A and B are shown apart, each in its own frame.
Chain A
Amino acid sequence: MRILLVEDDKMLGSALQQNLRLDGFTVDWVQDAEDAEVALATGEYGMLLLDLGLPAKSGLQLLKELRSGNDPLPVIILTARDARHDRIGGLDAGADDYVVKPFDPDELAARIRAISRRQAGRFSSTIEHGMLTLSPATHEVYFGGEQVTLTAKEFSLLAALLERPGAILSKDTLELRLYGWGEEVESNALEVHVHNLRKKLGKTMIRTVRGVGYTIGDAS
């Protein structure tokens, strides 16, 4: 999943980006609300992590504008403001969760997974598709009862395709989900990941829809 992080503090922003990458998320990081708006207009984000105390336009203002434009993007507020009225105000402005600094990074990752699970309409913490079982929390993948080892990118690719089984995702969309800004993308990187996944999970697991993109296949 690709996450947009809005945090004006440089040290914290970079630390958070590193941590979320460790958890297998693709993270873009901007330092103010204006850059966040630009990123949101162009990117394929599954989650917005929003600091409230931003220079110029506040995080809360950005959130309100997002919600008044009927944007369903899940939002978690990350802030040092822990007063009760701040938390209530943040949630009522449209945030899905409210995390107070200094937060537990594992808990933050779990909250991101929980919110995206609910967003996708799933109730189980694992994603199942035929003989395939995928656990976003532990990054473990089982195929026919056997554990399969996947790289972080392979896992993200598989998770993206499994989000809405049957949907066809274009190459561009998948690349956007997999790679954050500044990450080098080889021209055939996606094909390499697809190739590796097919080797590990069987040829029919990922189907190529010629000229359109990829979709998850029957996992029989």
Chain B
Amino acid sequence: MRSIRGTLFTILFTGLIAIATVTGCSIYLKVIQELNEVFDHQLMEVAYAAAAHAPDVVPLPSAEASYEREARLAVQIWKGETLLYSSRPNRIIPRQGQGLTTLYLDDQHPHLGWRVFALNAHDKVIQVSQPLEARRNVGISIALRSEEPLMLATLLLSGLILLSVGQGLRPLKKLAEDISSRTYTSLTPLSDRNLPSEVVPLVRCINNLLEHLDQSFEYQSRFIADAAHELRTPLAVIRLQARVLSKSGDEALRAEANRQLNAGIERASRLITQLLTLARLEPEPQPAQLETLSLDGKTRQLVADYARIAAEKGIELTLSRVEPVEIGGDAESLRDLISNLVDNAIRYTPSGGAVKVAVLHRGLRAILQVSDTGPGIPASERDKVFERFYRLPSSAEGGSGLGLAIVKSALLRLGGVITLEDNPWGTGLKVSVVFTVSPTGALPAEPPA
């Protein structure tokens, strides 16, 4: 796993060490170069001074000054071929020509060279020599002293890097702790107070997600509570009627109890089926996959399925007009939509009534109409009936209150608009669902976001 801290440390420390090394080397080279000039100058000064004075008072550097001592100069004075004077008799360096020379005398130790300045003064030759090693030693010690601030600065910078990377990443660490303290029951938003501006968008995104999760959990738990609540009534009916069956001796009463018992079981089963349909539809409002569906074909098929139920209830179920038209969506949602509309119409229409279903194609619109001669829905209730478990106060049928909620969810996935109005040819309700048909006819319109 990549770590921001690791990456920052690697880059910053590598960079710091490289910069410090380059700077250190260049300081060393500069010091050596300048020192050479200074020492050469010193060689010349000593030589001139020796030339100006008597040979016995050669102003050799004072042995007290460590710097001078380290210079390790030696003076030789020749007159003709005779060595008159040597300040360090054991340093034997052949006489050189006038000027500055660098000499390497020892073949075994080629680095042990000498820097020599020879000066022809009247009849004498004054030669001042210095081992290169002395120069190097002095150079190194001076360079080291010059590098001290650099090393100190490097150390301080390292500390600063450690501190600032740690400090900079602290909000992330705090955020991680904050997030890890959440459970699915406490999805309160994260605080973006005192957070760096780089982290705030992240926190906003997480909060957005948390809010959606919270709503989703809230929805689910409400759904479960509602479902449990709604199932209690048919279960109570079943239990009570079963008791009448087992306890009563009255045949007529038992026959009625048997009928009611089955009605209770039917009601509980229908409720469970509808709850499962709704649970399947609602968590993801977007369809799993879009296919091209034949609205007329599907409607024809489902109306045929309901023909027997309608006939048993004494209701005339007809397809008044069917025009071929295709819409986009998933087949299951369309089936849920049509069957719940037709089922509702049959359920609420009294015996002897009529239910008409029509599919129309008008330009870019496909229209599904279901009208009935039932009690209708008052205009003031038409918004509420799509809510889960909402039943009309006057409702006589033991409906689940889920039919239109399923229709609404299915419609969200299919992308259409539903309107409820008074049935123009009777007493009841007319439901119209309008879908948009794409101009090419091949692929469906996008469902609304």
| Residues of A close to B230: CB separation below 8 A | 80
Structural contact, B240 and A105, CB atoms closer than 8 A: yes
Is there a chain B Cβ closer than 8 Å to A130's Cβ?
no
Structural contact, B229 and A19, CB atoms closer than 8 A: no
| Residues of B close to A103: CB separation below 8 A | 236, 239
Bound-complex Cα distance A72 to B233 (A): 29
Structural contact, A10 and B398, CB atoms closer than 8 A: yes
Is there a chain A Cβ closer than 8 Å to B155's Cβ?
no
| Residues of A close to B233: CB separation below 8 A | 9, 11-12, 80, 101-102
Bound-complex Cα distance A15 to B239 (A): 9
Is there a chain A Cβ closer than 8 Å to B248's Cβ?
yes
Bound-complex Cα distance A12 to B237 (A): 5
**Given the interface contacts A11-B237, A11-B263, does A22 sit within 8 Å of B243 by beta carbon?**
yes
Is there a chain A Cβ closer than 8 Å to B36's Cβ?
no
Q: Map CB proximity to A onto B192-228 as digits: 1 under 8 Å, 0 otherwise.
A: 0000000000000000000000000000000000000
Bound-complex Cα distance A81 to B232 (A): 9
Q: Which of B238, B243, B264, B398 has a CB less than 8 Å from the CB of A19?
A: B243
Structural contact, A102 and B235, CB atoms closer than 8 A: yes
Structural contact, B236 and A15, CB atoms closer than 8 A: yes
Bound-complex Cα distance A106 to B264 (A): 19
Bound-complex Cα distance A11 to B256 (A): 12
Q: Map CB proximity to B onto A172-216 as digits: 1 under 8 Å, 0 otherwise.
A: 000000000000000000000000000000000000000000000
Structural contact, A22 and B235, CB atoms closer than 8 A: no
Structural contact, B247 and A22, CB atoms closer than 8 A: yes
Chain B residue at smallest Cβ distance from A106: B243
**Given the interface contacts A18-B257, A81-B229, does A12 sit within 8 Å of B248 by beta carbon?**
no
Structural contact, B236 and A19, CB atoms closer than 8 A: no
Question: Could you say which interface size class chain B belongs to?
Answer: 20 to 34
Is there a chain B Cβ closer than 8 Å to A16's Cβ?
yes
Structural contact, B398 and A80, CB atoms closer than 8 A: no
Q: Which of B229, B244, B247, B264 has a CB less than 8 Å from the CB of A11?
A: B264
Interface centre among B230, B235, B237, B248 (most CB of A within 10 A): B237
Q: Which of A10, A16, A22, A80 has a CB less than 8 Å from the CB of B229?
A: A80
Structural contact, B393 and A12, CB atoms closer than 8 A: no
Chain B residue at smallest Cβ distance from A13: B237
| Residues of B close to A16: CB separation below 8 A | 236, 240
Is there a chain B Cβ closer than 8 Å to A41's Cβ?
no
Structural contact, A22 and B244, CB atoms closer than 8 A: yes
Q: Which of B236, B244, B267 has a CB less than 8 Å from the CB of A101?
A: B236
Structural contact, A15 and B240, CB atoms closer than 8 A: yes
Is there a chain A Cβ closer than 8 Å to B396's Cβ?
yes
**Given the interface contacts A9-B233, A11-B234, A101-B233, does A19 sit within 8 Å of B396 by beta carbon?**
no
Q: Which of A4-45 contact B (CB under 8 A)?
A: 9-12, 14-16, 18-19, 22
| Residues of A close to B256: CB separation below 8 A | 18
What is the distance, in angstroms, from A49's C-beta to the closest C-beta of chain B? 12
Bound-complex Cα distance A9 to B233 (A): 8
| Residues of B close to A106: CB separation below 8 A | 243
Is there a chain B Cβ closer than 8 Å to A56's Cβ?
yes
Structural contact, A80 and B240, CB atoms closer than 8 A: no
| Residues of B close to A9: CB separation below 8 A | 233, 237, 398
Is there a chain B Cβ closer than 8 Å to A165's Cβ?
no
Structural contact, A101 and B260, CB atoms closer than 8 A: no
Is there a chain B Cβ closer than 8 Å to A55's Cβ?
yes
**Given the interface contacts A11-B263, A22-B247, A80-B229, does A102 sit within 8 Å of B236 by beta carbon?**
yes
**Given the interface contacts A18-B253, A22-B247, does A12 sit within 8 Å of B229 by beta carbon?**
no
| Residues of A close to B333: CB separation below 8 A | none
| Residues of B close to A101: CB separation below 8 A | 232-233, 235-236
Structural contact, A15 and B393, CB atoms closer than 8 A: no
Bound-complex Cα distance A215 to B398 (A): 46
Q: Which of B232, B237, B247, B396 has a CB less than 8 Å from the CB of A15?
A: B237
Is there a chain A Cβ closer than 8 Å to B241's Cβ?
yes
| Residues of A close to B257: CB separation below 8 A | 15, 18
Structural contact, A12 and B396, CB atoms closer than 8 A: no
**Given the interface contacts A15-B237, A15-B241, A18-B244, does A102 sit within 8 Å of B396 by beta carbon?**
no
What is the distance, in angstroms, from B402's C-beta to the closest C-beta of chain A? 16
What is the distance, in angstroms, from B434's C-beta to the closest C-beta of chain A? 33
Q: Which of B238, B260, B393 has a CB less than 8 Å from the CB of A14?
A: B260
Q: Which of A22, A81, A100, A102 has a CB less than 8 Å from the CB of B248?
A: A22
Q: Which of B242-280 contact A (CB under 8 A)?
A: 243-244, 247-248, 253, 256-257, 260, 263-264, 267
| Residues of B close to A80: CB separation below 8 A | 229-230, 232-233
**Given the interface contacts A22-B244, A55-B393, does A11 sit within 8 Å of B260 by beta carbon?**
yes
Bound-complex Cα distance A102 to B248 (A): 20
Structural contact, A10 and B264, CB atoms closer than 8 A: no
Structural contact, A12 and B236, CB atoms closer than 8 A: yes
Nearest 3 CB-CB pairings of A with B: A102-B236, A15-B240, A55-B393
Report A's interface with B, CB cutoff 8 A. 9-12, 14-16, 18-19, 22, 55-56, 80-81, 100-106
17 A-B residue pairs with CB within 8 Å: A9-B398, A10-B396, A11-B263, A11-B267, A12-B233, A14-B260, A15-B264, A22-B243, A56-B393, A80-B233, A100-B232, A101-B236, A102-B235, A102-B236, A102-B238, A102-B239, A105-B243
Report B's interface with A, CB cutoff 8 A. 229-230, 232-241, 243-244, 247-248, 253, 256-257, 260, 263-264, 267, 393, 396, 398
**6 additional contacts, CB 8 Å, given A16-B236, A22-B248?**
A10-B398, A11-B264, A16-B240, A18-B244, A19-B243, A19-B244
